[in-house]
Structure 1
Amino acid sequence: MALMSGQTRPLWDFEDIGHNHLRADPDGIAPVVALPTTAGTGSEVGRASVITDEQAQVKRTILHIRMMPRIAILDATLTLNLPTDLTAATGADALTHCMESWCSPAWHPMAEAVSVKGMQMIKEYLPRVVADGQDLEARQQMLEASSLGAAAFQRGLGGVHAIAQSLGALYDQHHGLLNAILLPYVLEANRSVLLKQMDDLAVYLRLTTPGFTGVMDWLLALREQIGIAHTLGEIGIDDRDAERVGRMAFADGCSHTNPIRHSAEAYAQIFSRAVKGL
């Protein structure tokens, strides 16, 4: 809304492809003050919007530096009435931002550090806030972790978001829920190049079991603790469109900063495993 308030071109002319952002009249972009009402997306520290093109059944990113909020107010009282399922799903979105940033092959040591701090906070406070939505301290800590996650993903996201954004456009499912279900399956597909990162992360998170196994065990236990489904099949998604999903995920910009440049066929297989739990 801030972008389009002073533009004459149609919205999709500003899609984040090449230098499309230069088409916007910067003086026509209204200033933004952000007050997040969920702890997950982290849009209050971002300069982009992800919008579903319902006609094309794809999600498109609209980006401009002046879309960055001038002021962000993280007031946990605004999240106290968020239902438990949305608290869990949005919290899992923040976790996925941190995790995919941590796994990105891009060089950005500041984002690495921020992503770890975000995961440490989420590990402690997401189970608390799901158990007691009136826990104001946990609500505030999750808001701050959400902002850290969004700041961290300037390093890049990965295959989880590449698939989730495709599914969100096709099936109209909650983005954070899709991320939460997909995360272990994508990590497993990337396992061969993540062993060092997961060795380090298990230490930073003080996990009982070391390495990749420890991180995966923690993620699966957390997902169960906060009531997230294990498979996409449990939320009504089948794999009849696996080839289409694979092509869409491969074409998604997030796939470029996945630790492995998976093919469309590989993404289709990851999606099918997430549907069936294989």
Structure 2
Amino acid sequence: MELKNVDLNLLLVFNQLLAERRVSKVAEALGLTQPGVSNALKRLRLLLGDELFVRTARGMEPTPYALRLAEPIGYALSTIHDSLNEVAHFDPATSKRKFTLGMTDIGEMYFLPKLMEILRRQAPGVSVSTVRNTTVNLQDEMEAGHVDLAIGLLPQLKSGYFQRRLFRQRYVCMFRKGHPLDKEGLTVEEFRDADHVTVVASGTGHAIVDQSIERLGIRRNIGLTVPHFVAVGHILSNSAMIATVPERYAMACVQPFNLRYVTHPLALPEININVFWHAKFNKEPANKWLRSLIFDNFADGREA
């Protein structure tokens, strides 16, 4: 016999008859009519080739074959019921879950110190690893569940993904303290004529700033181009160069590298920094917990 030929509802009737032994009770318990229960029993008898239940003065008594089926069918139905009605739960205090986050080097510098301190207090057994948004196929990795969340400016994550904004941030101009431009107000000409270090952050959306500067007709003196932001603080602290960087990255660099940043002289677009997750894991308890934790601790509160 193939399972595809078995109607699960017939097994529900069978299991309930074992418990109630009366058609009327079964009908009441399952929300069926008595003829409906009788018809289900008739179909099950034909399917299994056995009477299954015999009418007696004490009610519907199971046959020996029905009694042999009772335990495995009851166990199977119980397992299905429990699985479908399981209250999904994630306990951060006891979990040993390892999360993988997709983010840039900026994200690591801005989010990870605070996030790891929060996890140390709330989820000491939880660990985190990161992957660069630009070094993996983020769409495939998130769909497969290899990357739990991604954070940043990620225009490539569209269909099949949920996202929630953490904050909007502007671009600023950053340089070392004591730089000739370390003063109140920076003119467009001063910005244009300075020596620049730029970051080619392909795949992250940060390229929008370079495109915007070009559209404004500003030709910078670009002396150095690097593939990531992680070295920019070191470079600026030991040179006369300046850089256009996201403000929250600048905030993280000011103290460690003795830097300063000012409002950018150009009208550059603000960017959204979002948390992304694949729709397959929208209701997965651990995923829900982590993204809620991130939002509660890093969102600027301006999202509707």
TM-score bucket of the superposed structures, by smaller chain: under 0.3
Q: Quick check: which has more Rg, 1 or 2?
A: 2
With a CA cutoff of 8 Å and minimum separation of 6, indicate the structure with the bigger relative contact order: 2
The structure with the greater share of residues assigned to helix is 1
- TM-score where L is the length of structure 2: 0.21
The structure with the greater share of residues assigned to strand is 2
- TM-score where L is the length of structure 1: 0.23
